[in-house]
Amino acid sequence: MSTDSGVRVGVLALQGDVREHLRALTECGASARAVRRPVELEQVDALVVPGGESTTISKLAVEFDLLEPIRKRISAGMPVYGSCAGMIMLAEEILDGRADQRAFAGIDMAVRRNAFGRQVDSFEAPVTIDGLGDPPFHAVFIRAPWVERVGDDVEVLGRVAAGAATGRIVAVRQGNLLATAFHPELTGDRRVHQLFVEMAAAAD
C-alpha cells in the first residue's frame, strides 16, 4: 500500500488488539513493533495505544513501568495515536472512569468511557474524517467512548453523522497526538494509519 517510510512505530502491547495495528502499520510502510518495556519504548519514533480495556491498560502500564516514560515522551513531542481505549488513555479528563485509573494524557479533552453502551450495543457507521477525503470512513465502534469537551488547541476531525449520538465527537488531533473512538485496524481501510505514519515521519 505504501513505500517504506523508515519510521519506527511501536504498538503498546499490554492488552488489546495489538496484532491488527501491527499489520495495518506495516501495510502503511512503517517498521512496526510491539512495546512492552521501557527499553522498547526508547527504540521507537511513535506509538499506537490500541483498543481494549482502558482500566486494564492503565493498571498494566503502571506495573510495567511504562506510564511515566510514555508521559515524558508525549511531553517531548512523540507522535501517539490512540484508538477506542487508546483515546481514553490520551485524554486529560476521563468521565465514568475508575477512581484509581491513570492515563497518559496529552490531549486537552474530556472523554466518557463506554459512552455508546455495552458490548451488545457495538455498531458500525460511516464517519467523515477531515483530511481523509471520500468516501466516509466505515467506523467500527465497540464499547466506544466519545469526546464531551475539547480545548482550544484540539482539532475535531470527525463526528457521528446519524442516530441518537449524532454530533458526538469521535476523532480528534492535537499536534502530534491523534485519537479515534472507533477501531480502524479492524477494517481494510488504512487511511487513519497512513495519516499517523505520515505524522510520525514528519516529526522524526
Read off the pLDDT of residues 82-129 as tens digits, 9 standing for 90 and up.
999 999 999 999 998 788 889 999 999 999 988 876 654 578 888 999
Percent of the chain residues topping a pLDDT of 90 = 77
Q: Which of 133, 127, 139, 128 is nearest to 185 (CA)?
A: 139
pLDDT, mean of residues 37-46? 97
Query: What are the tens digits of pLDDT across the range 46-82?
Result: 999 999 899 999 999 999 999 999 999 999 999 999 9
Contacts of 19 (CB under 8 A, 6+ apart): none
Residue 147: which of 77, 90, 67 has the closest Cα?
Answer: 90
| Domain 8-203 CATH class label | alpha beta
Q: What is the pLDDT of residue 5?
A: 63
The pLDDT of residue 114 is 81
- Structure confidence at residue 98 (pLDDT): 82
Mean per-residue pLDDT of the chain: 92
Local structure of residue 136 (DSSP, 8 states): P
Q: Which amino acid is at 127?
A: V
Q: What is the pTM of this model?
A: 0.94
Express each pLDDT in 148-189 by its tens digit. 999 999 999 999 887 777 889 999 999 999 999 999 999 999
Catalytic residues: 84, 183, 185
What residue has cell string 451488545? 120
